[in-house]
A and B are shown apart, each in its own frame.
Chain A
Amino acid sequence: MSELWRRFGRLGGGLVLATALLWALLLIVLPQLLMVELSFRPNLPAAARGGPEDVLSLANYAALWANPLHRAIFWQTIWSSLLVTLLALLVCYPVAFHLAQEARGTRALLLATALVIPFWVNEILRTFSWFLILARNGLVNRLLLGLGVIEEPLALGGVGAVMIGMVYAYVLFMIFPLYNALESLDRNQIEAARDLGASTWRIHWRVVIPHAKPGIAVGCVMTFMLAAGTFAVPQIMQSLPGGTNARWFTQIIYSYFFDGGDWNRGSAYAFALLLLCIVFVMATMRLFRVGLRDIAK
C-alpha cells in the first residue's frame, strides 16, 4: 500500500485505489446484492411490481426443494463435482509428484510443456476434443469396432462422459497447486523415511501428503468450484448419444435466466449452489486442517 503512495503520490494513488474499489463495487458487489434481493421476491409482471404481492419470501428457495427433478439434478451436480475433484486429485498427484521431485532437466521441462500446451486451447475446444473421442463415430467406438470387440457403436454419453471432460478440462488447476506444495518438500525427508525402512506408500502417507496438504486443499477447492459452476462442459458432452440424462444444475439456472425469463427463481438457484460450494470449501479446509492463510500462500 505504501508502495502505491510512493509511486503515484497521494492523489494518483488515491485515484488508482478508488478506481479499483469502484470497479469492484459496480461490477461485482452491487449485481450480487441485486441478485440476492431478486431471489427473495416473486416473479411478477412489470405492472405488479411494488404492488401488494411483491413481498420478500423464501418461496423461490422452497421451489427448488419442492421440485424433485431439480433437487435430484442439484445433488447430482454436487456429487459429480466431488467425484471430478477426487478423480482429478488421483490423476494429478502422481504427475505433480513426479514433476516436482523426480523429473530433472529437459525431461521436467518437456513434461511441464506437454501439460501446459493443451491449456493454450480454449476450454470449449478442449472439451470438444473429448466429444470427438467419445462420439458415435469417434475414436473409441471406431477402435472397438475395428478390433471386433463390439458390433454396434456404443452410446458413450452420460454423467461419466461429462466427468471425464471436466477432469481433463481442470487438470491444471489441480496440478499447479499440488506441484507448488510438493516442490517445496525437502528431498532428504523422503530419503530419510526410506532409509528408516518406510515403504513408498507410507512415505507418501506420513511425509509427502501431510506436507502437501495446503496444495491439495487449494487444488480440490478450485477444481470443485470450477466443476460445480461449469456450463460449457455438460452442454457439449450432453450432445453425445445417451448423454441427455447428464444435466448440470448450472443449465437449469441458465434456462431460468435466458429461456424462462424468471430471474428471481434463477437467482435463488444460483445462491443455493453458491452456498453449498462455500460449505464445501469450509469443510475441505477443516478436513485438511488448513487456514485461509495457508491457502493464500
Chain B
Amino acid sequence: MQGAEVALEGVGLAYGAFWAVRGIDLTVRPGEFFSLLGPSGCGKTTILRLVSGFVEPTEGVIRIDGRDVRGVGPAARPTALVFQNLALFPLMRVWENVAFGLEVRGVAKAERRRRAEELLELVALPGFAEKRVDELSGGQRQRVAIARALAVEPKVLLLDEPLSALDLKLRQHMRAELKAIQRRTGVTFLYITHDQGEAFTMSDRVAVMSQGRIEQVGTPAEIYDAPATAFVASFVGESNPLPGRVRESAGGLARIDTALGPLRARDPRGLAPGSAAILVVRPERCRLDGAGEGDGPADRLARAEDAPVNRIEGRLARIDFEGAFANLVVASPAGPALKVQVANDGRLSRLEAGAPVTVRFPAEAALALPEGPLARE
C-alpha cells in the first residue's frame, strides 16, 4: 500500500449562510500521520467528510495525489473512513466485516477470507475471523474497524476520533498500535481528535483548528513550544495568558505592560509598540523563588543577575499534589492568578498554602503573541 497526498486549496463549506469551514489550505504529505486538533464544533469532522466525499465543498478544490476529486463519491475515492462509533456491521462475522469492501468489489469468497485473515493478522487479531462483533471488546472492535477500512487498500485512511469510546489505558495502548499500523502500511493517516495527547504522541504534523479555520500547522513540538496564535497557546496544554500592551520590542524580545507589571517575552514577530498583545508562559516553565525551588543548571542560569527574568510577587493560593509534580496557583492582588507546575524534587512538602512567594520565569520561556480569542476552558 502507498499513501497519497491530500491537498485542500481554499476549501469552504457553507450550510445556508453558515460556513462550517472556510479558507482551508492544507497539504498532507504522502504516508504522513497528520492530525486535525480542535475543540468540538471547530469543523474538523467537516474536513474529514469533505475529504471522504460525503459532502462537496461550496468553494475551493480538494486534490488527492494531484487529482481533483470534486464530484467523485465516497465509494470511488481512494479513501476509507473509520467512524467515531466504528459502525461495524453487527449482523456479520468479524471476517465478513473486514472483507465487506472486497465483497463489494466482487472478490471470490475464498480470496476474501484469506485477505481478511491477513488483515486481522496485521491488526493483531489472529483467530478472530469467526467471532461475532458483539463478542469483542472495545479495543478489538477498534482494530476490526481499522482492518475493514484497510481492506479496500485506501491511499488515505480517515479516522474520526476512533479512540474516544475507549478507556484511558486502552486509549494509550491503541495510540502506539495505530502508529505502528500506519508505519507498517505506509498509508496516509488523517486523524481527527480533540485530545492533544493523542495528536502529539502519534502525529508527524498537527493542524490546530478553531471556528472553521486552521490556526496553525506544525510538528507537535512546534505547536507546543511556538504557538502561532493566542488560541493555539491556550488550547494546547496549560498556559498562563496575560493580556497587555507592547511597550517596546527589540532584538527578538518584547517588553509588555500587563496587569502584573511590565514583563519580558520572546517576540519573534516583532510586535508594534502600543499594540495589544498576549504574553503566554507555560506553568512548567515557571519557578518559585524561596520554597520548593529547583537547583538545576537552568535554575541557576535563570537566577543569574544579567539574564532577563520576570518576577511576580504573589501568595500561594492552592497546591494540588499530583505525585510526580504539583500544580500550584499563585494569586496576585494586581492581576490574574498564575498556574505554576513544579517537579517533585522531594521538597514539595515545604510549600505552604497562603505563604508569600515570587514566581519567576525567564523572558525566553514566555512568548508574546498578537491579541486574539482564547480557547474556552
Residues of A within 8 A of B (CB): 186, 188-189, 191-199, 202, 206-207, 210-211
Contacts and interface: CB of A to CB of B under 8 A. Distances in A.
A198 B152 CA distance: 11
Contacts of A188: 83-85, 87
B148 A196 contact: yes
B91 A192 contact: no
A193 to B, nearest CB: 7
Contacts of A195: 52, 54, 74-75, 79-81
Interface stretch (B97-105, B284-292, B319-327, B337-345): B97-105
B346 to A, nearest CB: 51
9 contacts: A188-B87, A193-B100, A195-B52, A195-B54, A195-B74, A196-B101, A197-B75, A197-B104, A197-B105
Contact of B85 (A186, A194, A196, A210): A186
Given A188-B83, A191-B54, A191-B83, A196 B89 contact: no
Given A186-B87, A188-B83, A191-B74, 8 more contacts: A192-B89, A193-B100, A194-B73, A194-B75, A196-B151, A197-B105, A198-B104, A211-B91
B79 to A, nearest CB: 8
Interface size classification for chain B: 20 to 34
Nearest to A202: B104
A202 B148 CA distance: 17
Contacts of A197: 75-76, 101, 104-105, 152
A202 B92 CA distance: 14
B299 to A, nearest CB: 52
A197 B151 CA distance: 11
Contacts of A192: 81, 83, 87-89, 148
B116 to A, nearest CB: 13
A26 to B, nearest CB: 45
B99 to A, nearest CB: 10
Nearest to A193: B100
Contact of B89 (A189, A191, A199): A189
A207 B104 contact: no
Contacts of B81: 191-192, 195
A224 B76 CA distance: 42
Interface in B33-81: 52, 54, 73-76, 79-81
Nearest to B52: A195
Interface string B22-36: 000000000000000
Contacts of A211: 91
B98 to A, nearest CB: 10
Contacts of B74: 191, 194-195
